[in-house]
Amino acid sequence: MRLAHSKYQQIADRLRAQIASGALEPGERLPSEPDLAAAYGASRNTVRLAIALLINQGLVVSRQGLGTFVVEPTKPFTALLSRIHEPPREQHASLSMPVVSPAADESEMVRLIVETGSASPSVAEKLDLSPGDSVVVRRSQYFIGDVPWQLIHSYYPSDLAKGTALEQAGEIESGSVGLLTDLGYPQQGFVDEIGARMPNAREFDFFKLVSGIPVIVVNRTSYTTDRPIRLTRYIYRADRVRLLHVEGSIPERYRHA
């Protein structure tokens, strides 16, 4: 026996259907609460619950004093998660997860900040440190055109990074993998952990999120034969990115499906 939806869910379903069909277009203002209440024979409180549900699903956004508007649909990017058995020396952390852009003529822009900080408990656990130990952090913001699509935070134990190019802003000519190899810490492998959570304030602002949209987080811990040498966190807006893993020999035309 199928249970009937609550009144506010029924209203949300009908508005969602109008958005999906194009009857309510991106950027279009929804009818006012009194108008929706009259149209659906519901109380204004019921209408508010329906709109709140759509906001949490990322379909509409409320603007103070202006009303509620249909959100522009996102164009998903594809981040490629490939198993790398022997990483090239000149590989940067960001290149281990390349993007497939929705349009070939859209250029990628990167902003980089380098700082020294204290390891949080979660970072310390991955790098086999004590909470509060010093780490060097390289934070990158990635844009395709003017669309923010990825944050990368790479954490290095200070005993490896201190006094090296890892502490300096700007690109590392040999790549972080090559530099660590030159320092006597050749990367032999890595472990990926993938999860989702609600964004923190920095992520919320960077991705220009509305309520209810989570982020995908990939924690990649890189190792030599005897210790962890880098933790890289790749953070994506969950409704804008698909993670793709390719294994073995596959024709190119099938790699981005």
- Residue 28, Cα to own-chain centre: how many angstroms? 27
CATH classification at residue 33: 1.10.10.10
CATH classification at residue 174: 3.40.1410.10
Buried/exposed 201-233: b ≥16 CB within 10 Å, e otherwise? eebeebbebbeebbbbbbbbbbbbeeebbbbbb
Over 60: is that where the pLDDT of 144 sits? yes
For residue 82, what pLDDT is reported?
A: 58
The count of structural domains within the chain is 2
Mean of per-residue pLDDT scores for the chain: 82
* 117 in the same domain as 35: no
Handedness of CA 243, 141, 194, 214 (dihedral sign): negative
* 168 in the same domain as 153: yes
CA distances from 131 to 18, 31, 125, 139, 156 (A): 51, 52, 8, 20, 14
Question: If pLDDT is split at 50, 70 and 90, which confidence band does 208 have?
Answer: confident
Mean pLDDT of 14-20: 88
Residue 2 within any structural domain of the chain: no
Residue 44 within any structural domain of the chain: yes
pLDDT per residue over 121-137, tens digit each?
A: 999 999 999 999 999 99
* 93 in the same domain as 15: no
Question: If pLDDT is split at 50, 70 and 90, which confidence band does 212 have?
Answer: confident
Alpha helix stretches (DSSP H) within 136-232: 158-161, 175-182, 201-207
How many CA within 13 A on the CB side of residue 118?
A: 5
pLDDT per residue over 32-59, tens digit each?
A: 999 999 999 999 999 999 998 888 777 8
* 192 in the same domain as 243: yes
Residue 63 within any structural domain of the chain: yes
pLDDT per residue over 154-191, tens digit each?
A: 999 999 999 999 998 888 887 888 899 999 999 998 89
Over 50: is that where the pLDDT of 89 sits? no
pLDDT per residue over 100-129, tens digit each?
A: 555 545 667 888 999 999 999 999 999 999
- Last residue of one domain, picked from the residues 27, 54, 70: 70
Handedness of CA 84, 87, 93, 98 (dihedral sign): negative
* 110 in the same domain as 17: no
Lowest mean pLDDT among 61-70, 187-196, 237-246: 237-246
For residue 2, what pLDDT is reported?
A: 41
Residue 248 buriedness (CB in 10 A; 0-12 / 13-18 / 19+): exposed
* 200 in the same domain as 117: yes
Over 60: is that where the pLDDT of 91 sits? no
- Phi and psi of 63, rounded to 5°? -115, 120
For residue 90, what pLDDT is reported?
A: 41
pLDDT per residue over 222-249, tens digit each?
A: 999 999 999 999 999 888 887 877 666 6
State the pTM of this model: 0.69
* 177 in the same domain as 135: yes
Helix (H, G, I), strand (E, B) or coil at 117: strand
Calpha distance 234→153 (Å, rounded): 7
Calpha distance 145→132 (Å, rounded): 37
Question: If pLDDT is split at 50, 70 and 90, which confidence band does 1 have?
Answer: very low
* 144 in the same domain as 17: no
For residue 87, what pLDDT is reported?
A: 44
* 82 in the same domain as 39: no
Most confidently modeled range among 6-10, 86-90, 91-95, 124-128: 124-128
For residue 80, what pLDDT is reported?
A: 65
User: Nearest-CA neighbor of 202 among 146, 145, 151?
Assistant: 151
Over 50: is that where the pLDDT of 62 sits? yes
* 115 in the same domain as 49: no
* 187 in the same domain as 110: yes
* 167 in the same domain as 55: no
- Domain range for residue 28? 7-70
Residue 1 within any structural domain of the chain: no
Calpha distance 142→202 (Å, rounded): 14
Two tokens at 121? 């408990």
Measured CA angle at 75 (ends 24, 221), to 5 deg: 140
Calpha distance 42→5 (Å, rounded): 14
For residue 185, what pLDDT is reported?
A: 93
